[in-house]
Homo-oligomer: A and B are copies of this chain.
Amino acid sequence: MARAVLDPQLADKAGSTSKAATTQYVYFFGDGKADGNGRMKDVLGGKGAGLAEMTNAGLPVPPGFTIQTEACREYMRGKLSHQIEDEMLTALEKLEKLQGQKLGTGENPLLVSVRSGAKFSMPGMMDTILNLGLNDTAVEALAKRSGNPRFAYDSYRRLIQMFGDVVLDIPKKKFEHIFDGVKAAKKVKFDYELGPDSLQKIIAEYKKLVKKETGKEFPQDPLVQLVAARDAVFRSWQNERAKTYRRINHIDDWLGTAVNVQAMVFGNLGENSGTGVGFTRNPATGEHMFFGEYLMNAQGEDVVSGVRTPNPISELEKAMPKVYEQLKDITRRMEKHYRDMQDFEFTIQDGKLYMLQTRNGKRTGLAAVRVAIDMVREGLITQEEAIFRVEPNQLYDFLVPRLVEKGEKIEVLSTGLPASPGAAVGQIVFSAEDAVKYHTNGAYKSVILVRGETTPEDIAGMEVASGILTSRGGMTSHAAVVTRGMGKCCVAGAGDCTIDEKKKEMRVKGKVFHEGDWLSLDGTTGRIINGRLNTLPVNPDNPDLIQFMGWVDERRRLRVLANADIPRDAKQAQAFGAQGIGLCRTEHMFFAEDRLPHMQAMILAKTEEDRRAALAKLLPMQRADFQGLLKCMGSLPVVIRLLDPPLHEFLPKREDLLVQIAKLEATHPKSPKLKELHKILERVEELHELNPMLALRGCRLGITYPEITEMQAHAIFEAAAAVKKSGADPHLEIMIPLIAGPEEFKAQAAIIHAVAHDVFIKKGLAVDYKVGTMIELPRACIVADKIAADAEFFSFGTNDLTQTTFGISRDDCNKFLPAYLQQGIFKQDPFAVLDQEGVGTLIKMAANKGRSARRDLEIGICGEHGGEPESVKFCHRAGLDYVSCSPYRLLTARLAAAQAAIEEQKIFNPDLRTGNSK
Q: Using CB atoms and an 8 Å cutoff, list the residues of chain A in contact with chain B.
A: 654-655, 658-659, 662-663, 665-667, 687, 689-696, 700, 703-704, 738, 740-741, 743-744, 747, 776-779, 782-783, 800, 803-809, 811-813, 815-816, 819-820, 823-826, 835, 837-839, 841-842
A693-B694, A694-B691, A696-B812 known; A738 vs B807 contact (CB < 8 Å): yes
Bound CA–CA A823/B825 (angstroms): 43
Question: Are B690 and A811 closer than 8 Å at their CB atoms?
Answer: yes
Give the chain B neighbours of A703 by CB distance below 8 A.
816, 819-820, 823, 825
A816-B704, A820-B703 known; A694 vs B807 contact (CB < 8 Å): yes
A659, A825, A835 — which one has the most chain B CB atoms within 10 A of its CB?
A825
Question: Are B658 and A691 closer than 8 Å at their CB atoms?
Answer: no
A819-B704, A841-B782 known; A691 vs B811 contact (CB < 8 Å): yes
Interchain Cβ contacts under 8 Å between A and B, 29 examples: A655-B658, A658-B658, A667-B667, A689-B815, A690-B811, A691-B693, A691-B694, A692-B812, A693-B694, A693-B809, A694-B694, A694-B809, A695-B808, A695-B809, A703-B816, A704-B815, A704-B816, A704-B819, A738-B807, A743-B824, A743-B826, A777-B807, A778-B778, A782-B805, A782-B841, A782-B842, A804-B804, A804-B805, A804-B807
Our pick among B665, B740, B747, B811 for the contact of A807 (Cβ within 8 Å) is B740
Give the chain B neighbours of A800 by CB distance below 8 A.
807
Give the chain B neighbours of A778 by CB distance below 8 A.
778, 804-805, 807, 838, 842
Give the chain B neighbours of A813 by CB distance below 8 A.
695
Question: Are A825 and B744 closer than 8 Å at their CB atoms?
Answer: yes
Bound CA–CA A52/B850 (angstroms): 48
Question: Are B700 and A816 closer than 8 Å at their CB atoms?
Answer: yes
Give the chain B neighbours of A777 by CB distance below 8 A.
805-807
Query: A626: shortest Cβ distance to chain B, in Å?
Result: 26
Question: Are A838 and B807 closer than 8 Å at their CB atoms?
Answer: no
A663-B663, A824-B743 known; A694 vs B658 contact (CB < 8 Å): no
Give the chain B neighbours of A690 by CB distance below 8 A.
692-693, 809, 811-812
Query: A752: shortest Cβ distance to chain B, in Å?
Result: 16
Give the chain B neighbours of A654 by CB distance below 8 A.
655
Our pick among B659, B744, B838 for the contact of A659 (Cβ within 8 Å) is B659
Question: Are A776 and B807 closer than 8 Å at their CB atoms?
Answer: yes
Query: A701: shortest Cβ distance to chain B, in Å?
Result: 8
A740, A741, A803, A841 — which one has the most chain B CB atoms within 10 A of its CB?
A740
Bound CA–CA A152/B696 (angstroms): 58
Given contacts A694-B812, A741-B837, 7 further A-B contacts (CB under 8 A): A658-B662, A659-B659, A662-B662, A689-B815, A703-B819, A741-B825, A743-B826
What 4 A-B pairs are tightest by C-beta distance, nearest first? A694-B809, A695-B812, A779-B838, A778-B778
Q: How many copies of this chain does one complex carry?
A: 2
Bound CA–CA A345/B665 (angstroms): 65
Query: A807: shortest Cβ distance to chain B, in Å?
Result: 4
Question: Are B666 and A783 closer than 8 Å at their CB atoms?
Answer: no
Give the chain B neighbours of A811 by CB distance below 8 A.
690-691
Bound CA–CA A779/B801 (angstroms): 10
A690, A741, A826 — which one has the most chain B CB atoms within 10 A of its CB?
A690
A777-B805, A807-B804 known; A695 vs B663 contact (CB < 8 Å): no
A804-B804, A813-B695 known; A838 vs B689 contact (CB < 8 Å): no
A665, A700, A842 — which one has the most chain B CB atoms within 10 A of its CB?
A700
Give the chain B neighbours of A693 by CB distance below 8 A.
690-691, 694, 807, 809
A695, A703, A820 — which one has the most chain B CB atoms within 10 A of its CB?
A695
Name A686's closest neighbour in chain B (CB-CB).
Answer: B815
Name A696's closest neighbour in chain B (CB-CB).
Answer: B815
Query: A627: shortest Cβ distance to chain B, in Å?
Result: 31
Give the chain B neighbours of A812 by CB distance below 8 A.
689-692, 694-696
Query: A913: shortest Cβ distance to chain B, in Å?
Result: 31
Question: Are A808 and B659 closer than 8 Å at their CB atoms?
Answer: no
Bound CA–CA A868/B92 (angstroms): 75
Query: A291: shortest Cβ distance to chain B, in Å?
Result: 44
Query: A407: shortest Cβ distance to chain B, in Å?
Result: 41
Bound CA–CA A658/B687 (angstroms): 20
Give the chain B neighbours of A687 by CB distance below 8 A.
815
Give the chain B neighbours of A694 by CB distance below 8 A.
691, 693-694, 803, 807-809, 812
A662-B662, A703-B825 known; A740 vs B691 contact (CB < 8 Å): no
Give the chain B neighbours of A692 by CB distance below 8 A.
690-691, 812
Bound CA–CA A819/B666 (angstroms): 40
Bound CA–CA A57/B400 (angstroms): 89
Query: A908: shortest Cβ distance to chain B, in Å?
Result: 29
Question: Are A809 and B659 closer than 8 Å at their CB atoms?
Answer: no
Bound CA–CA A693/B747 (angstroms): 29
Query: A608: shortest Cβ distance to chain B, in Å?
Result: 12
A819-B703, A825-B703 known; A689 vs B809 contact (CB < 8 Å): yes
Give the chain B neighbours of A779 by CB distance below 8 A.
805-807, 835, 838-839
Query: A853: shortest Cβ distance to chain B, in Å?
Result: 15
Give the chain B neighbours of A738 by CB distance below 8 A.
807
Question: Are B782 and A838 closer than 8 Å at their CB atoms?
Answer: yes
Bound CA–CA A600/B704 (angstroms): 40
Bound CA–CA A805/B783 (angstroms): 11
A663-B666, A807-B738, A809-B689 known; A695 vs B815 contact (CB < 8 Å): yes
Bound CA–CA A275/B29 (angstroms): 112
Query: A462: shortest Cβ distance to chain B, in Å?
Result: 19
Bound CA–CA A807/B655 (angstroms): 25
Bound CA–CA A198/B805 (angstroms): 73
Bound CA–CA A803/B695 (angstroms): 10
Give the chain B neighbours of A783 by CB distance below 8 A.
837-838
Bound CA–CA A665/B740 (angstroms): 47
Give the chain B neighbours of A815 by CB distance below 8 A.
687, 689, 695-696, 700, 704
Query: A71: shortest Cβ distance to chain B, in Å?
Result: 26
Give the chain B neighbours of A776 by CB distance below 8 A.
807
Name A685's closest neighbour in chain B (CB-CB).
Answer: B452
Name A742's closest neighbour in chain B (CB-CB).
Answer: B825
Give the chain B neighbours of A658 by CB distance below 8 A.
655, 658-659, 662
Bound CA–CA A597/B820 (angstroms): 29
A815-B695, A842-B782 known; A747 vs B806 contact (CB < 8 Å): no
Query: A729: shortest Cβ distance to chain B, in Å?
Result: 35
Give the chain B neighbours of A806 by CB distance below 8 A.
740, 777, 779
Name A666's closest neighbour in chain B (CB-CB).
Answer: B666
Name A740's closest neighbour in chain B (CB-CB).
Answer: B806
Give the chain B neighbours of A743 by CB distance below 8 A.
824-826
Query: A253: shortest Cβ distance to chain B, in Å?
Result: 13
Name A803's closest neighbour in chain B (CB-CB).
Answer: B694
Question: Are A838 and B741 closer than 8 Å at their CB atoms?
Answer: yes
A803, A807, A826 — which one has the most chain B CB atoms within 10 A of its CB?
A807
Our pick among B659, B747, B819, B837 for the contact of A662 (Cβ within 8 Å) is B659
